[in-house]
Amino acid sequence: MKAIRKDIIEATRYFSKLVELGSYSAVKSYYDIQINTVKNKIELLEDYLDLKLTKPENNRILPTEEGLKFYHSCKEQLKGLENAIINVKDNGFEQRESFKILGTPLFLRMLINNALSDIRQISNKPLNIYLNSYLNRDLNGREYNLDSYSIIEIYENDLQYVDLDRWIICYSVDDLIIPAHIYGKKDFVEQFHNSPKELLKANMIYHDYDFNLKKVKFLKDGSLHKLNRDNVVYIANTDSQKIPVLMNDNVLTIMSEYCYETLISDFSNIKKVDGFEIDYPVESHMILVNRSSPYKRQLIDIVRSGVKGIRMKYDKSFKG
């Protein structure tokens, strides 16, 4: 491999900070250097990569599309390098292994509840575990840095970013329907028990994933009913965001049984609307373990065991 000149490494640091701060003057102040130095280094980097990395817009310097891809490709490595230098300076050569895990908030909650303590015991050495979450359909730049993770949960639409030769498929979930129910504040839900006519009038809070579903339906007394999306007044990024809204406003929400027991069952003021079961679709996704991890076999066994236990309890179609 050809050695990269130190000025290219330096320019990459300046470019990364320019993306984060948005102006040459801010980078100047951060690194205590001249503005011309920043500009010249970034021009040097653009020539080296043969890419246009920046563009002026509304009194800010923004990354181009290619520039943003480059930023996401290298920001974690730059941060890791800086942290390593600081740690050695402050703590000497204390050896700590690390696992990085990427997934949706609910997947990470599943790991915390069912697998994290076992993962901690894989190594006898000091261990750091990094839990990074992303929202459904939005990897937020992490698609350019997936190889730095030990475990990832990835949806079918994002498989284009994964080199499967570098990963082991730990678990694969096809499109499926799982049972879900409707929940709300205890004194609010009473009027909706076994009453589809009233339920269809209620204001709702959806997860943005729910809002993108084509339809949410339920069967009651032999009739098929579809929830009215016009009644959705709140859209949350995560299921956890629903909790304070449910407790402070007269709205209802849809949640799978697992999601409810994981996130909300400790809140005695939030109750299920009796008499309804929702057909809740789950998109195809995979849980992958990095093939380069020295603990890949242990990680696979731990994650598979945790996911299998959950599916046996909540997925009626799962045969084990």
Per-residue pLDDT of 240-296, as tens digits, reads 889 999 999 999 998 888 888 888 878 888 999 998 888 777 788 899 999 999 999
Q: End of a domain among 91, 110, 125?
A: 91
Average pLDDT over residues 166-193: 88
| Domain shared by 246 and 292, yes or no | no
CB neighbourhood size of 143 (10 A): 17
The pLDDT, as a whole number, for residue 1 is 63
Q: What is the pTM of this model?
A: 0.69
Average pLDDT over residues 104-118: 86
- Least confident span in 11-25, 92-106, 114-128: 92-106
User: CB–CB of 170/289 below 8 Å?
Assistant: yes
| Domain shared by 158 and 181, yes or no | no
Q: How far apart are CA 294 and CA 15, in angstroms?
A: 34
| Domain shared by 135 and 195, yes or no | no
| Domain shared by 182 and 276, yes or no | yes
Q: End of a domain among 30, 59, 91?
A: 91
Higher-confidence position of 39 and 79 = 39
Structural domain of 264:
176-282
Inside any domain, residue 56: yes
| Domain shared by 161 and 288, yes or no | yes
Angle at 285 between CA 282 and CA 286, to 5 degrees: 145
The pLDDT, as a whole number, for residue 92 is 67
| Domain shared by 229 and 170, yes or no | no
Higher-confidence position of 306 and 213 = 306
| Domain shared by 265 and 218, yes or no | yes
What are the structure tokens assigned to 127, written together?
Answer: 């261990």
Inside any domain, residue 1: no
Inside any domain, residue 209: yes
| Domain shared by 109 and 49, yes or no | no
Instruction: Tell me which residue of 131, 133, 165, 172 sits closest to 147, measured CA to CA.
Output: 165
Instruction: Tell me which residue of 119, 162, 107 sits closest to 301, measured CA to CA.
Output: 119
Question: Could you report how far apart the first and last alpha carbons of the chain are, in Å?
Answer: 47
Q: What is the pLDDT of residues 141-162, one digit of tens each?
A: 777 778 889 999 998 888 888 8
Inside any domain, residue 320: no
The enclosing domain of 116 has a CATH number of: 3.40.190.10
Residue 303 reports pLDDT greater than 80: yes
| Domain shared by 181 and 276, yes or no | yes
Q: What is the domain count for the chain? A: 3
Inside any domain, residue 319: no
| Domain shared by 166 and 181, yes or no | no
